[in-house]
Amino acid sequence: MNITERLHRILATLPEGVHLVAVSKFHPAERIVEAYNAGQRIFGESRPQEMAAKAKVLPKDIEWHMIGHLQTNKVKMIAPFVSMIASADSDRLIAEIEKQAAKCERKIDILLEVHVAEEETKSGWDIEELRAYIASGAFENMSHVRVRGVMTIATNTDDEEIIRRDFERIRSIFNEFKPLFGEKFDTLSIGMSDDYPIALEYGSTMVRIGTAIFGAREY
Ligand SMILES: *Cc1c(COP(=O)(O)O)cnc(C)c1O
């Protein structure tokens, strides 16, 4: 199967209203063009330099989503064009996104990445710290950051019960925060190549799929 066929096969399994982020990290621009020509417009990258280089040469109507851990000093590299930063995982990073978006006179959508997985190494907010940060009113003076929802990466395991527990947790966090942010808070970003069918059961509105579209990545 080629990229177009895989893309269409996946799209056919997504319920109405679920957005597909085609995760193109480590794949060359030509492969992105193939997906673009098949109609895909949202692409996810994990490294700001790579994203900026691709954005420069690829069509301007692509929506670029930053899905990997983002260092504060790299925000300015993508602020002029990025659509969504799905890995907003610290107060310092969010403050920097607000600052750089203001400089570009833009609004940047963000997702609060929450740590729910078992691994210590997984990035994302500790839920208690995030609750305290939101309660402190941090977002009240930010007019260039739009909080659209939450994101998580489930535990990397074959044990489906653990994956389900992770998704259940993030769904309940999404429901807890929704009343605090209102209408625009509409995105529950869960599900990757291996676990997206399960994520859909937990109300995913945005899946991030790489390998199942582009094949294995070369590192
Ligand atoms: C790489 C990556 C994905 C895509 O993973 P696949 O298993 O290739 O679908 C999704 N989300 C994040 C945050 C990633 O870093």
Neighbours of 35 (CB within 10 A): 23
Q: Please report the atom of ligand 1 found closest to the CA of residue 21.
A: 10
The domain made up of 3-214 is a member of CATH 3.20.20.10: yes
Name residues whose C-beta falls within 8 Å of residue 54's C-beta, 6 or more positions apart in sequence.
24, 29, 32, 43, 45, 64
- Helix 48-57 to helix 29-37 angle (10° resolution) is 60
Nearest ligand 1 atom, CA 46: 15
CA 165 remoteness from chain centre: 20
Residue to probe by mutation, ligand 1, list 20, 23, 213, most atoms within 8 Å of CB: 23
Atom of ligand 1 nearest to the CA of 209: 9
pLDDT along the chain (219 residues), means of 10: 96 97 97 98 98 98 98 98 98 98 98 91 90 97 97 96 98 98 96 98 98 88
Helices assigned H by DSSP within 106-210? 127-135, 160-181, 196-201
pLDDT of residue 188: 98
> What residue ranges line ligand 1, CB within 6 angstroms?
23, 25, 46, 67-68, 153, 192-194, 208-212
Record the tokens describing residue 74, joined without a space: 């790299």
Determine the residue of 119, 192, 209 to mutate for testing ligand 1's pocket, defined as the one with the most ligand atoms within 8 A of the Cβ atom. 192
pTM for this prediction = 0.97
